[in-house]
Amino acid sequence: MLLRLLPLPFIALALLAGITGGWIRMGWDLTLLSAAANHGILMTCGMLGTLIVLERTVTMPAPWWRAFPLLCAAGTVLLLTGFTNAGLPAMLFGNAGLVALYLVQMRDHREAYWHILLAGALSWGIGTALVWQGAPVLAAAPWWITFLLFTIVGERLELTRYLPVPRIAKVLLWVLLALYFAGLLLPFHGTGRLLLGVSTTAIALWLLRYDMARKGVRKPGMHRYVGGGLLVGHTWLLVHGLITLLAGAQPFYYDLYLHTFFLGFTFSMVWAHAPIILPGVLRSPHNPFRTWLWIPWALFQLTLLGRIVATLAVAVEARRFFGLLNGIAMLGMFACMAGIMVWKTRSTRRFAAP
């Protein structure tokens, strides 16, 4: 059990370092590890990548699969201690484990979503390899976005595979994903950005129409929390698609392009999936949901909205202020979920004691 859970503190470390690195990039004078300026790598590979590898490998019976999230975690430590040229290969080995896992699963399962998940994992590896070879992080960002987009779309299809989605709608989604990947291979400042923007916008509309979140949000309790979080995440993906397509002349275009996706879409999906995925990772009968969890969730969304509006308005000081608040809200959300899990576990043990 210890080996399985060992990556969790390093995921938290990558999150903390990534957020502080983001604050540094926005102009806050923080006397922290200079390596925290590896903001994008830490957030995408160190935190989200490790979390996804951990989530997937805990389902595998052989204990050696536990090595892959630990490799990602080691990459975080190496990055934070200044050994970038060693940290990135460690993360690539962790990524290779995720690719291998999908290939193993595809031998026994024929569902189409495995191909989407595999394409996402390969995209993560391509983006990380580009940075390792000296490319700027911005060159890797579209590949990392593809990793998370395809992973989340694949997981949504996996979780909703028994819903009666019309065949024509399934074909349409594959066409949109193919168009997205075509845009990824074309020059970004040209046809590539056009295809990425159009296909992302259409994928978001597809999810808003066909994802089971529309059913879940009508139910009370945790179902409404999950469904509402998913719908908000899909809406952020829609915003990201429109930003990609229409905001090319905006002075903070890349900030908008990156953070409407990574913060708006990705973290909204993390919050929404946590009550489903975290019990499996921890092998716990409890989930990190209480009704009051809507409060930190709303604070995250409102501070992110404030940051995006300030960025669109080129209000630099307001952007810095809301960026600080949004990072605090992210840390607070994770702290609340961890606190709920600890409280529920201790309560169960207390009542079970003779």
Average pLDDT, the chain: 91
Mean pLDDT of 320-330: 96
**Which of 277, 276, 236, 224 minimizes the C-alpha distance to 149?**
236
What is d(CA 301, CA 179) in angstroms, rounded to the nearest whole number?
30
| b/e sequence 217-245, b meaning 16+ C-beta within 10 Å | beeeebbebbbbbbbbbbbbbbbbbebbb
The whole-number pLDDT of residue 353 equals 47
How confident is the model over 21-30, as pLDDT tens digits? 888 888 887 7
The whole-number pLDDT of residue 160 equals 77
How confident is the model over 261-272, as pLDDT tens digits? 999 999 999 999
How confident is the model over 162-202, as pLDDT tens digits? 778 888 999 999 999 999 999 999 999 889 999 999 999 99
Please enumerate, as own/partner, the contacts of 243-249 that have beta carbons within 8 Å and a separation of 24 or more: 243/197, 244/193, 244/196, 244/197, 244/200, 245/193, 245/194, 245/196, 245/197, 245/198, 245/201, 246/197, 247/312, 248/189, 248/193
Q: Is the pLDDT of residue 232 over 70?
A: yes
Q: Is the pLDDT higher at 229 or at 1?
A: 229
The whole-number pLDDT of residue 347 equals 75
Lowest mean pLDDT across 103-107, 232-236, 300-304: 103-107
The whole-number pLDDT of residue 33 equals 54
Q: Is the pLDDT higher at 349 or at 220?
A: 220
**Phi/psi at 47 (nearest 5 deg)?**
-95, -60
77 — pLDDT class (breaks 50, 70, 90) = very high
Mean pLDDT of 313-326: 95
Q: What angle do CA 127, 3, 66 make, to 5 degrees?
A: 40
The whole-number pLDDT of residue 350 equals 55
The whole-number pLDDT of residue 348 equals 65
Record the pTM: 0.94
251 — pLDDT class (breaks 50, 70, 90) = very high
Q: Where are the domains of the chain?
A: 1-150, 160-340
How confident is the model over 42-62, as pLDDT tens digits? 999 999 999 999 999 998 989
Instruction: Please report, rounded to a whole number, the percentage of residues in the chain having pLDDT higher than 90.
Output: 71
Token pair recorded at residue 48 = 């989200």
The whole-number pLDDT of residue 181 equals 94
Rg (C-alpha) for the chain, rounded Å, is 20
By the 8 A CB rule, do 37 and 21 touch?
yes
Cβ neighbors of 147 (< 8 A, separation 6 or more) are: 44, 49, 120, 121, 123, 124, 127
